[in-house]
Amino acid sequence: MAIKFQYNKTSLQQLEKQLKVRVRTLPIIKNKESALRMEVKRCKTEAAGLEERLEQQIQAYEAMFALWNEFDASL
């Protein structure tokens, strides 16, 4: 998006107002971005931990799976 500007006083004042707003909100946006990055990182590590826990539980049940074949299904 190209910035359109005119060489008059009112346009200059509008551009200065927009610049002030952007300069004032930039630290807030950066803080939100870093907080979001930390939340994503936390969620990824939590998901990896849950995946590992699930794999451990599946492996624990695989040892018991052999026992089911020993019983008669007609019971």
Task: Identify whether 9 is part of a domain.
Answer: no
Handedness of CA 11, 16, 17, 23 (dihedral sign): positive
Give residue for tokens 């052999």. 66
What is the predicted pLDDT for the residue at 5?
67
Task: Identify whether 3 is part of a domain.
Answer: no
Q: 20: which residues sit within 8 A by CB, 6+ positions away?
A: none
Task: Identify whether 50 is part of a domain.
Answer: yes
Per-residue pLDDT reduced to its tens digit, 29-75: 999 999 999 999 999 999 999 999 999 998 888 777 777 777 777 76
Task: Identify whether 51 is part of a domain.
Answer: yes
Q: Is the pTM of this model over 0.75?
A: no
Q: Which residue range is the domain that position 56 belongs to?
A: 21-70
**What b/e sequence results for 28-59 when a residue is b if at least 16 CB atoms lie within 10 Å of its CB, and e otherwise?**
eeeeeeeeeeeeeeeeeeeeeeeeeeeeeeee
Give residue for tokens 């074949």. 69
What is the predicted pLDDT for the residue at 27?
95
Task: Identify whether 54 is part of a domain.
Answer: yes
Task: Identify whether 56 is part of a domain.
Answer: yes
- Say how many domains are in the chain: 1
Task: Identify whether 15 is part of a domain.
Answer: no
What is the predicted pLDDT for the residue at 1?
61
